[in-house]
């Protein structure tokens, strides 16, 4: 089975501070996973703020170079250097960012972003071809060029604007989308429409999605596989339902226990078990090793644990 994306022993280390107060931060440590080119999937990266999930996404997009390891797309190393090679990569791997209101300049009409993407990646200046490509991409997300033409970002809802951002990313027909917290800035009532859209991109268009989130509910709903990250390290990975139904790593269990439930609504039971918090916190900074389980998942285990 051919590979679409390979993450091989990838680490990212940042050096912060000045000459006399320098501090090294390991944002990502020895990450490994791969996506198949023949089986589109939604691969989810879960973790709290500071877990390294966005740094990992930026390295996949070629916005950051790994300190160690390598990232391969269709067998070729992801490289930020060389314009022609970079443009070819960008046509195949497109981002969808967290805040659609920041992704669009409020002083520019939305169609200008769609048009510039079509010009760059379709290598054409033919207006009819560009309009057709824009309309087809918008149709995929439940909109149309007629609805969007002439409108500024503030004239659309958050959900509509995020759909436009996804449509822009779909113009070059990429096999892979990197969606970084794509529903966190839209109203709760609109989140499922975006999540279902990602699901339909996988099922109907054959697009693989790397979905980055801290929301276990949406991850459970749409993911095929997932990894859970804690302070830069993958602590558990495998089939989404296998992991989320019965998480094994202490941090994975803490994340699941922290999800608010309607079962005890009004009872004031918001505190997580302190023992569970303590156990998960004790694992921070310990390297451990990923061990394969019989059910197909991999879990980070520690000496003496």
pLDDT in tens, 57-87: 999 999 999 999 999 999 999 877 777 888 8
Range ranked top by mean pLDDT from 21-25, 40-44, 82-86, 270-274: 40-44
What domain count does the chain have? 1
Helices assigned H by DSSP within 79-181: 83-92, 100-103, 110-122, 127-140, 145-148, 158-170
Decide the pairing of beta strands 68-73 and 3-16: antiparallel
- Residue percentage of the chain with pLDDT more than 90: 67
Q: What is the pTM of this model?
A: 0.91
Contacts of 111 (CB under 8 A, 6+ apart): 134, 145, 148, 149, 150, 151
pLDDT at 1: 67
What's the domain range around 207? 3-301
Please report how many Cα atoms fall inside a 13 Å half-sphere around the Cα of residue 169, on the Cβ side.
27
More confident residue, 259 or 171: 171
pLDDT at 262: 56
Query: At residue 37, does pLDDT exceed 80?
Result: yes
The domain that contains 204 carries what CATH number? 3.40.50.300
Token couple for 121: 């990646």
**What distance in Å separates the CA atoms of residue 162 and residue 96, rounded to the nearest whole number?**
8
pLDDT confidence tier of residue 259, bands split at 50, 70 and 90: confident
Token couple for 82: 């060389």
Token couple for 29: 């440590």
Range ranked top by mean pLDDT from 31-45, 246-260, 270-284: 31-45
pLDDT at 266: 60
Query: At residue 277, does pLDDT exceed 90?
Result: no
């Amino acid at each position: 089975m051919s590979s679409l994306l390979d993450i091989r022993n990838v680490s990212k280390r940042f050096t912060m501070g000045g000459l006399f107060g320098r501090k090294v931060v390991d944002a990502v440590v020895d990450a490994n996973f791969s996506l198949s080119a023949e089986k589109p999937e939604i691969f989810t990266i879960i973790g709290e703020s500071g877990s390294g999930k966005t740094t990992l996404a930026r390295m996949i997009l070629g916005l950051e170079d790994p300190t160690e390891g390598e990232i391969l797309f269709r067998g070729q190393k992801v490289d930020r250097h060389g314009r022609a090679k970079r443009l070819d990569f960008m046509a195949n791997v497109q981002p969808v960012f967290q805040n659609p209101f920041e992704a669009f300049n409020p002083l520019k009409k939305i169609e200008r972003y769609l048009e510039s993407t079509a010009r760059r990646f379709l290598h054409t200046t033919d207006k009819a071809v560009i309009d057709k490509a824009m309309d087809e991409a918008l149709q995929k997300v439940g909109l149309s060029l007629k609805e969007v033409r002439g409108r500024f970002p503030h004239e659309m809802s958050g959900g509509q604007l995020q759909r436009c951002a996804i449509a822009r990313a779909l113009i070059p027909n990429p096999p892979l989308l990197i969606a970084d917290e794509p529903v966190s800035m839209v109203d709760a009532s609109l989140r499922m429409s975006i999540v279902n859209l990602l699901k339909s991109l996988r099922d109907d268009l054959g697009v693989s999605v790397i979905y980055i989130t801290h929301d276990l509910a949406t991850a459970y709903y749409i993911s095929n596989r997932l990894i859970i990250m804690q302070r830069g390290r993958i602590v558990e990975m495998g089939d989404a339902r296998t992991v989320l139904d019965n998480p094994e790593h202490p941090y994975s269990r803490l994340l699941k226990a922290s999800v608010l439930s309607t079962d005890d609504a009004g009872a004031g039971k918001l505190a997580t078990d302190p023992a569970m918090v303590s156990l998960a916190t004790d694992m921070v900074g310990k390297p451990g090793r990923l061990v394969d389980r019989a059910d197909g998942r991999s879990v980070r285990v520690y000496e003496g644990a």
